[in-house]
């Protein structure tokens, strides 16, 4: 049942420090269909797992959906089914079996004994991708911390399951420790990383406070991984953020100035993309990065119009937003890549999401309208004021021009009278001059 869409290049440069060309691991994918999950959900889960596995550098060779009324606590899919699939993976010369579900350490060990090869779950694959794509010091530390959280309960001496090279996250990553490293040293390393991340979070918080003091509205781009967030940031702000057609290409936050149609300025932030079942350890580790989202005045939710399940994408994003306590922030939805879909799909999107913008960040379609929508939403978060400013307080007049929109300006014997619209958070600065 090998599918053509699962086939990938058989060779690549490894992400290890050796940078030697090696044979890519052949992967067999397993999804589990339980009574609380539909067949469509299981199939889409495996499709995404295939993309994740390929992004991590392995070659998805074949896949199987296993039906279970309940999960087996020892082997997840039952020992009989595991032995049946083990015969198939042996015949296919499989190097690693990848489950679309989270495995307990005991289940993973038991399955490795049956399959006689590496067995990993979806979380390990995602961690491996993050390990390869983390470039900044903070990003590397965040990924390493998540990796330690994942590996710690799986440390059981120096047996075969942990001494072999292993798949992806079990074998490589920024600042990685060897699997034989004892629990005490790992815990000490985690403590050091947490201290470093707290210091980095404090620095980023200081930067955000500085931006807040200027009362410039902040817009955060959120969305499913590979929805085109970085391309959109580049298109709207002339930024030079890395753009690749792959999952989780961008991990570190980028903030750029955004010129709005009403001549106001906003700050636009791009950060890490989300995915279904994003590992909780990653969400915890990336708290300082995701703070760019939690501190935003408006979320720009980018959805891939070419995805067959856009609602699933949006739900996955909103689930993470709920986890980081950002679900209450006002949201603008933009369906990207509409130039790649036909008219019936665009019409369906318009009917299902009448308030959403239809755009193409790559070709520029709809970007002007999107900027107008963003400006309208931010304007709702402003207040109109009439203030009288003495001539000796030119700094207040300058602040009104810088932070808000001056609707009218006139002068009398006592000073300058201004009618302005300013962000709600900036209003207290002008309170003593209110007329």
Which class is 216-379 in CATH? alpha beta
Neighbours of 354 (CB within 10 A): 7
User: Picking from 24-38, 174-188, 248-262, which range would have the lowest pLDDT averaged per residue?
Assistant: 174-188
- What is the C-alpha to C-alpha distance for residues 243 and 361, in angstroms, rounded to an integer? 12
- On the question of pLDDT at 3 being above 50, the answer is no
- On the question of pLDDT at 108 being above 50, the answer is yes
**Residue 190: is it exposed, middle or buried by C-beta count within 10 angstroms (0-12/13-18/19+)?**
middle
Q: What are phi and psi of 44, to 5 degrees?
A: -65, -35
**Residue indicated by tokens 């911390």:** 145
The string of pLDDT tens digits covering residues 276-310 is 777 777 777 677 667 778 888 899 999 999 998 89
Q: Which residues on adjacent β-strands are paired with residue 410?
A: 417
The answer to whether the 4-170 and 382-433 domains have the same CATH topology is no
- On the question of pLDDT at 89 being above 70, the answer is yes
H/E run at residue 382: strand 382-390
Model pLDDT, residue 314:
92
More confident residue, 6 or 291: 291
- The mean pLDDT value of the chain amounts to 81
To the question of domain 4-170 being in CATH 3.40.50.11060, the answer is yes
382-433: CATH topology: Alpha-Beta Plaits (3.30.70)
More confident residue, 251 or 304: 304
Q: What is the DSSP string of 257-305?
A: EEE-TTS-EEEEEE---B-TT--HHHHHHTHHHHHHHHT-SEEEEEEET
Q: What are phi and psi of 72, to 5 degrees?
A: -80, 125
- 62 three-state secondary structure: strand
- On the question of pLDDT at 361 being above 90, the answer is yes
- 15 three-state secondary structure: coil
For the chain, domain boundaries: 4-170, 216-379, 382-433
Model pLDDT, residue 126:
87
Please state at what angle helix 122-133 crosses helix 39-56, rounded to 10 degrees. Answer: 30
- On the question of pLDDT at 163 being above 50, the answer is no
Closest by CA to 247, choosing from 268, 283, 223, is 223
Q: What's the whole-number mean pLDDT along residues 409-423?
A: 88
H/E run at residue 411: strand 405-411
Model pLDDT, residue 249:
55
CA–chain centroid gap for 166, Å, is: 26
User: Picking from 24-28, 151-155, 187-191, which range would have the lowest pLDDT averaged per residue?
Assistant: 151-155
- What is the C-alpha to C-alpha distance for residues 257 and 260, in angstroms, rounded to an integer? 10
């Amino acid at each position: 049942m090998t599918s053509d869409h699962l086939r990938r290049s058989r060779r690549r440069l490894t992400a290890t420090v050796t940078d030697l060309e090696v044979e890519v691991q052949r992967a067999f994918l397993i999804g589990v269909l339980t009574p609380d999950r539909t067949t469509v959900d299981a199939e889409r889960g495996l499709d995404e797992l295939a993309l994740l596995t390929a992004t991590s550098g392995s070659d998805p060779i074949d896949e199987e959906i296993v039906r279970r009324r309940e999960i087996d606590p020892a082997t997840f899919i039952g020992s009989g089914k595991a032995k049946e699939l083990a015969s198939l993976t042996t015949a296919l010369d499989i190097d690693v079996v990848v489950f679309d579900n989270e495995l307990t350490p005991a289940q993973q060990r038991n399955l490795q004994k049956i399959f006689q090869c590496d067995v990993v779950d979806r979380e390990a694959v995602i961690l491996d991708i993050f390990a390869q794509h983390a470039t900044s010091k903070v990003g590397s530390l965040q990924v390493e911390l998540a990796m330690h959280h994942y590996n710690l309960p799986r440390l059981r001496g120096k047996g075969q399951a942990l001494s072999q090279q292993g798949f992806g996250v079990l074998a490589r990553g920024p600042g990685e420790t060897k699997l034989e490293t004892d629990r005490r040293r790992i815990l000490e390393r985690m403590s050091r990383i947490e201290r470093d991340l707290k210091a980095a979070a404090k620095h980023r918080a200081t930067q955000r406070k500085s931006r807040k003091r200027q009362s410039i509205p902040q817009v955060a781009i959120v969305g499913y991984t590979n929805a085109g967030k970085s391309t959109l940031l580049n298109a709207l702000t002339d930024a030079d953020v890395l753009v690749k057609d792959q999952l989780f290409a961008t991990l570190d936050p980028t903030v750029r100035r955004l010129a709005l149609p009403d001549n106001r300025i906003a700050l636009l932030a791009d950060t890490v993309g989300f995915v279904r079942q994003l590992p909780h350890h990653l969400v915890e580790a990336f708290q300082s990065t995701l703070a760019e989202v939690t501190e935003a005045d408006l979320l720009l939710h980018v959805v891939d119009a070419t995805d067959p399940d856009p609602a699933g994408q949006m739900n996955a994003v909103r689930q993470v937003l709920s986890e980081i306590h950002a679900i209450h922030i006002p949201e603008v939805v933009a369906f990207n890549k509409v130039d790649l879909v036909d008219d019936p799909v665009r019409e369906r999107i318009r009917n299902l999401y009448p308030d959403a913008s239809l755009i193409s960040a790559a070709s520029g379609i709809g970007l002007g309208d999107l900027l107008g929508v963003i400006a309208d939403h931010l304007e709702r978060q402003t207040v109109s004021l009439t203030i009288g400013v003495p001539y000796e307080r030119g700094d207040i007049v300058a602040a009104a021009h810088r932070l808000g929109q001056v609707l009218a300006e006139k002068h009398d014997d006592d000073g300058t009278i201004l009618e302005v619209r300013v962000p709600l958070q900036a209003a207290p600065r002008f309170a003593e001059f209110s007329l």
